[in-house]
A and B are shown apart, each in its own frame.
Chain A
């Protein structure tokens, strides 16, 4: 049988998974921000230009997760073209595929979540236009909070991509063991970032709506928001811990 370059194949596959899943999340999120802006403009046609500005800001931020996915996809594509040190290593192949899964699923959650924040925030700017600048700032804070899980995913993806220096020396049993370990690491962080990315973003949207409705209790809403988002992200941190532990064997 001709020598099979599984590692190169897995690098291409990982690039496709990363960018494909990442584009779903951010694409949906950016579109949903537009839904919020359209609703707001229907409510307050006089506020079209501030609403349009806030929508563009939120869409620019919401495309961040897909840019992370794009970076990883480019790196993996480069590794696919390269002549690798161990092209038939199963562990190396699993590392590339897992890197794609990790950042792909992570940016699916955070990208879609950023759209939730943006839609609620832009709509609430239409409701109380004089709070516009404050709500825009808190919208960006909420989106940044929603992007924390995808940053964990990105870190794990980089670790996976640059992990393999001695994979070529392993025996077949070790190849299989490490392939399972690396795949587990990627799935753990990818899926683990999906839920918290969506959940903590949902809070951000409701927080912006609350600020618009009753601006005088901003302090209480702030407390609730940060405590709630922090607790919601605890599971992403568990997943990150398990990924780091899996990387140390």
Chain B
């Protein structure tokens, strides 16, 4: 395995990085959004008359939590474009 050229190392690292980036970037938002929605369900069952407020808050909270997942997606696409060039 002595003749690996530098281009292959750079591209391989970029592709591996894209995978690690999106994989670990998906853990946090997945758990966080689930927690937000779970607590929203709990709140709605306690105070059904506040349904619309709770539902809106849940969606906004999830959207904010989603942002880090989208950052990971963007970075993964950028790394992919380096690796596939």
Contacts and interface: CB of A to CB of B under 8 A. Distances in A.
Interface string A191-225: 11111111111110111011101101100110111
A181 B83 contact: yes
Contact of B26 (A179, A205, A229, A238): A238
* Of listed B15, B55, B76, residue having the most chain A CB within 10 A: B15
Given A198-B30, A249-B15, 11 more contacts: A171-B3, A173-B8, A183-B16, A185-B19, A195-B26, A213-B46, A217-B45, A220-B44, A228-B34, A231-B59, A232-B34
A210 to B, nearest CB: 3
B49 to A, nearest CB: 10
A242 interface: yes
Q: Is the interface of B mostly helix, strand, loop or mixed?
A: helix
Nearest to B12: A180
B26 A184 contact: no
Interface of A: 90, 109, 149, 171-181, 183-203, 205-207, 209-211, 213-214, 216-217, 220-221, 223-225, 227-229, 231-236, 238-239, 242-243, 245-246, 249
A246 B19 contact: yes
A232 B37 contact: yes
Q: State the 6 A-B residue pairs at the shortest beta-carbon distance, nearest first.
A: A199-B34, A228-B37, A184-B19, A195-B30, A210-B45, A180-B12
A201 B31 CA distance: 9
A199 B19 contact: no
Interface residues of B, number: 58
21 contacts: A171-B3, A177-B15, A180-B13, A184-B19, A188-B20, A188-B23, A194-B27, A199-B31, A199-B37, A202-B34, A203-B38, A205-B38, A209-B42, A214-B45, A221-B44, A228-B38, A235-B26, A235-B29, A238-B70, A245-B80, A249-B15
